[in-house]
Structure 1
């Protein structure tokens, strides 16, 4: 994997700009499909900080498919119950998330799983390396040129790179998006700046997410959450609009002393700190020619509800199989048009949800787990049953068992899966699971896309051959 060298610019099939969770997840998905890809990152290493710490159930399912679930389960933990404090006294508990029942929505995961983002990136980077993928650090893109056959990326230092396609996964301030002239439409969700820091603190238990409401009008809250699998806490503090935030140890100690019952010296270390203003913005397009936008480069969320990183990883998961099909299986290039078609409405929907949660207008529950999102309106979705019940084409394919086969074990990998009684053996690129689908599916034959959504559903195999032929999968 990586680049093919020659006398001209080094070449690769896909250039991924940005080594955050989006870029790394896409790199993994392409690597396992045998697609030549290179991730470039302007920083000298992976970004620090806990940032997006909540992995939703749908993202955990994706990580299982990408071969990293065990690593995430080993280092993370469940979210603790919130503890409301007032004047140094515990005033009561607050559940941050509405719980789900075991097996709800056909998933083994019922709640978010906490892993600091720096560790998420480390796990994904290790998996990418294991698969033969590569990240080139210290490579800042300064210009992009496109023509009918590819993209040439120029860097502040080092040689240009030639790729058949490029993906901008370089964050909310994406230089690639700006170079393409793609605008962002959105709003400031809250004008009040927010400080976020990874700190070491004594005097607080790690059994609760500690919440300190504002002590007076115009002050601001503080929330201090123990970061699972570490000795750190993530501290989040809100300030009035116009405040100049002090991100230093002394500044953070001052905030903690003013707003909690803790003493300044109880904050023993600041390991990382940053500031932001919550905003919601959506790129006007997710594609310009041979360049795609993914993750924060395409949509910027309020952190409320833990939706941003998860939506970003799912962008990568959606785009990965399509690039793999076009580059490796002979699928028509038009298949890539469905990336924006499918992902931009999802991003718009989730942005609205994040904003509603920020304003306490929606709950963290079934919607935030992201298991119910799907692509029923997509041009890739074909539902041929006149009176379908249960799962329909376009929906996420639930987990379950058929005989001794666990469905997610059968789905795992870059192939398609055909599920149903008397399901025919279709040959290369399609795995068959023969038997009645689990109860949530209803009756019929279900063709599961490589990203775990039902692409085609019918009462018989009529039309399957034509459908699969559209994506370069021969029977």
Structure 2
């Protein structure tokens, strides 16, 4: 049971419909009946679901609350990059994602009713031993969330729908969260995964520093088209010179749905998301007739913005996903960066809550993820502006997120010297490859750390939470010992075991409890 001493005397915040207001104290009778858990996760989008899955497999109790009465219904973030596919493989969700997704279609330009050129927006690569998932996968965000939710339930977790966070407060020992259901939930940590307009972030007074990438509004909608419509499902159709602003129709896998994106040249335009208005927009700007739109399933408007929270943590409250950084949709970076926030945070919470690691381990979350978010924001902003200026910028390795790493992290220790320029170093993503009858990713899969010996002996280990493997030789790794973190990055590397025990001590108990 988590101690709650001091909570009644700690200032908190209330989250109301008209903004935030201070709450000086909380009545004793409300905290006495609090629901107990380890982590409260606010928001059941991809970030919250991935974090809940990772905590569930670690035996960490988590309450995932969502103010809506169902999962998000739209296609908004529709691309799963190669690195995120590796994450979902580890979490056991990739089979469902692959079954529901498809390769990205080739782009097809139109001028009125005339077909023009065709090209690949996404560079295509062949899988290799080191990179088994080489290409971005097209899958609507709504379907991604359904697969993640199903995986969470397989692990015994769930989502509390219709439960909005109405207030929270924290002491040095715990967080108390108040829900619209009338419950008070007591936890060790609260994670805000509640989107770009995060009420938790605003309640904490954490600012967002950024810029408007494009002041012109945009419409995004999911539409079902008639089979007689002029567009086929083999291409992503684009009218770059459409009157009033460019229009794109991307076929979504698994049916007759398309994602519609329409730009508005007029910065002051009021975007009407009503089904009638969506039909009229397509009829006005493309050769499709209004009657070709059988159904408008979901619609929203937005302006492309790039912004990042000034910090990702306030005591026992942690920001993740869009609550911490907001991206332009160009390059498919937002959802993927959010997934990897959760993946980075999940194993650290697990080590602190189940293995006795010092709470200071959580400081590395911001130290690692904030620079990554800044780099990715720069990529998506640059791609958006290039596309807006008419450049057919192909998305290649820079958007796949395989090259992102943590060489400058406080958790990264490289003890080898004289390495070649292209050598794998501590902080880098650990490549896949053959290992015995299986693959390295099979060895890494799970909540544990892995010690990989390549061309050197395995030292004795007292830590029961570390799995070991040995390769006689494998060129991508070179020679040495590599401690692979639970999120698939090399944390420590050395020529022998000197210093390894001290490094492992930062991650907690040598003999983890069952399920940890």
Structure 2 length as normaliser, TM-score? Answer: 0.88
The answer for the alignment partner of 1:195 in structure 2 is 219
Contact 2:33 2:184 in 1 (8 A): no
Alignment correspondent of 1:337: 363
Answering whether residue 152 of structure 2 is matched by residue 121 of structure 1, we say no
User: 1:352 matched to which residue of 2?
Assistant: 378
| Cα separation, 2, equivalents of 1:468 and 1:142 | 40
Please name the residue that 1:467 is paired with.
Answer: 503
Give the secondary structure class of the aligned counterpart of 2:38.
strand
Q: Which sections of structure 1, spanning at least 5 residues, go unmatched?
A: none
Q: How does 1:28-427 map to 2 (within 5 A)?
A: 28-103=53-128, 106-202=130-226, 203=229, 204-216=231-243, 219-239=244-264, 240-360=266-386, 363-389=394-420, 390-420=423-453, 421-426=456-461, 427=463
Report the CA distance shift for 1:189/1:437 in structure 2 as closer, same or farther (over 3 A).
farther
Q: Do the aligned partners of 2:111 and 2:241 also contact (CA within 8 Å) in 1?
A: no
- Post-superposition Cα deviations, 1:205-240, rounded to whole Å, max 9, x if no partner, equal 100000011235xx2100000001232100000012
* Structure 1 residue aligned with 2:476: 440
Structure 2 residue runs without a partner (length 5+): 1-29, 388-392, 512-516
CA distance in 2, matches of 1:47, 1:200: 18
Question: Whole-Å Cα distance in 2 between the matches of residues 437 and 57 of structure 1?
Answer: 26
Is the alpha carbon distance of 1:304 and 1:260 closer, same or farther for their aligned partners in structure 2, counting shifts above 3 Å? same
Deviation, 1:102, is 2.8
Find the aligned partners of 1:41 and 1:378 in 2 and give their Cα distance. 32
Displacement of 1:134 in angstroms is 2.3
Q: TM-score, normalised by structure 1?
A: 0.96
SS in 1 for 2:146: helix
- 1:441 is paired with a residue whose SS is coil
Q: CA deviation at 1:432?
A: 0.8
Deviations 1:76-107 (A, max 9, x none): 10000000011211111021112234328x21
Structure 1 segments of 4 or more deviating over 3 A?
none
Cα distance between partner residues in 1 of 2:159 and 2:432? 33
Q: 1:380–1:437: structure 2 CA closer, same or farther, 3 Å change rule? A: farther
SS at match of 1:245: coil
Once the two structures are TM-superposed, the CA of residue 244 in structure 1 deviates from its matched residue by: 1.1
CA distance 1:182–1:437, change in 2 (3 Å) = farther
Distance 2:277 2:401 in 1: 37
Encode CA deviations 1:418-458: one digit per residue, 9 max, x unaligned: 11132235241111111235211121111100000000000
Q: Is the 8 A contact 1:402 1:437 kept in 2?
A: no
CA distance in 2, matches of 1:22, 1:263: 38
Give CA-to-partner distance per residue, 1:304-348, whole Å, 9 cap, x none.
000000000000000000000000001011000000000000001
Give the corresponding residue for 1:431: 467
CA contact (8 A) 1:402 1:438 kept: no
